Structure 1
């Protein structure tokens, strides 16, 4: 299996960060958290969701946490707002005290956490009583079309590529699994909903170029290929993606979102 890299902010933005921003806006409208609240963004990456919180949710402050130094550097450069702080940390063991945040969110992160059950419990732990705990992940099985087209073509050329396909690897990209994860974390009022946005590429090169950035499973796979096989994959994709009269390609990107409410009165496990 090709090594997955999550470190270069600009390459990630071109690949999926730009589409995450669109989903993030719809996600925050769905949550409808009142203004003036304290937010935590777990797995903040390059700051896409953090910036969207600042733009649409009128927070008192936002703390973004991520494991990648490179992504955190990008986030600090991109999100220049005095209400925002970024901190290195692991979603499975947050370096934060209990019941601190009114809204705890995570965008496109839980699939890549080794133990998502631990991460969900941590998100619930740091939420204030009655606070919102929510996340979203891509529907890798079918609804994230830019990746679905890619992996269907890749596995046709190279059946071994199936082991990297997020639709096969990540059971959390299904609504039932997300609902169970939140319920098992002790959260109440659990709701799951689809969020869909359009991803429009100026032309085929605009679709293909981000796969050469090396950030994430699909780009990592592409860059590990020999040039002949990489070219074959590129041309197969070109033949399958329908372009409009102006050459643009429009696909659907669907994410599954889950939210719940932190209960009152559970035992604290405060950390320094």
Structure 2
């Protein structure tokens, strides 16, 4: 919920990115917070309910972004310490400002070459990041390497193959107009089967998965629209539309969104989660 932690130069998008080719870039922690940080936190709450970790653990948060999920760990799990990494300095700066050290320490880093010793942590987590890692299997192997035997390795990610990504109505209408919104490079790993296969191939025991349904309310349609079009990749595509086409898109998206008497609108997204135990 973190964010984007893959390699220097790659990160999390719909969840906070920098992917080669600059299709995804999110190095403004405050903007990320409005667009994806709230989504990330809503999913992370349910993820931690399912994970039910003990207090007093040492954690590594891989791809921490602006610290949205890291903050949840601090608030809910009473960690002994958290090492959090992300490739984007703008995200790290925002995270440092929101969470004191200790218990969390932030640094730039590469998900495929974690700057930590073997068997250093009790638990490792990737929040909305795995589909941005250039080599997802290597990213999981690195988490396994730095976690003690008997510790947990876990992740959650938007269910992109199952159309669970936030901003779904906007993406659907763009596709109806013959435009294909950019997606993370390794989206296939975010299915329940994709995550289970990754974790099993990494040699983890007691692998489990679950679906997370994530509703989010917006003050009104304008709030939904202005928030959603901040998404990297998507924002570039929308900014390039001619005004009549943009107005047509906005009208069609509004028609998809139902608002109540209070004018609030709600979108529901879906994430998948996985966990496994490092072999003793």
TM-score, normalized by the shorter chain, greater than 0.5? yes
- C-alpha distance in structure 2 between counterparts of 1:145 and 1:207, whole Å: 15
Structure with the higher fraction of residues in helix conformation? 1
Indicate whether 1:70 and 2:90 are aligned.
yes
3-state SS of paired residue (1:161): coil
Query: Which moves more between the two structures, 244-253 or 94-103?
Result: 244-253
Distance 1:209 1:181, change over 3 A: same
What RMSD over aligned residues (CA atoms) do the two structures have, in Å? 1.9
Is structure 2 residue 177 aligned with structure 1 residue 161?
no
- 1:204 aligned residue (196, 221, 240): 221
CA gap 1:69/1:2 in 2 versus in 1, 3 angstroms: closer
> Does residue 176 in structure 1 map to residue 196 in structure 2?
no
After superposition, residues 6-155 of structure 1 pair within 5 angstroms as: 6-142=26-162, 144=164, 146-155=166-175
Q: Is the 8 A contact 1:37 1:60 kept in 2?
A: yes
1:56-75 Cα deviation digits (max 9, x unpaired): 01100111100111111111
Q: Are 2:277 and 1:261 equivalent residues in the alignment?
A: yes
Match of 2:204 among 161, 183, 187: 187
* Other-structure match for 1:229: 245
- Between the aligned partners of 2:186 and 2:113, the Cα distance in structure 1 is 23
Aligned-pair CA distance for 1:169: 6.2
Structure 1: gaps spanning 5 or more residues = 265-272
Q: Secondary structure at the match of 2:180?
A: helix
8 Å contact kept, 1:25–1:56: no
CA contact (8 A) 1:201 1:207 kept: yes
Distance in 2 (alpha carbons) for counterparts of 1:27 and 1:51? 14
Distance in structure 1 (CA, Å) of the matches to 2:127 and 2:276 = 15
Distance between the aligned counterparts of 2:33 and 2:66, measured in 1?
8
Write out per-residue CA displacement over residues 116-144 of structure 1, whole angstroms, 9 at most, x where no aligned residue: 11101111111111000000001234463
Would the alpha carbon gap of residues 115 and 145 (structure 1) be closer, same or farther in structure 2, given more than 3 Å must change? closer
Per the normalisation by structure 1, the TM-score is 0.89
- Verify: 1:246 aligned to 2:265, yes or no: no
Q: Find the residue that maps to 2:102 and give its secondary structure.
A: coil
Contact 2:130 2:190 (C-alpha < 8 Å) held by counterparts: no
* Alignment CA distance shift 1:150-1:85 (3 Å): same
Which is further off, 168-177 or 192-201? 168-177
Paired residues in the alignment total: 260
TM-score, normalised to structure 2's length?
Answer: 0.87
Q: Give structure 2 stretches of 5+ with no counterpart.
A: 1-20
Contact kept? 1:145, 1:252, Cα under 8 Å? no
Query: 1:249–1:169: structure 2 CA closer, same or farther, 3 Å change rule?
Result: farther
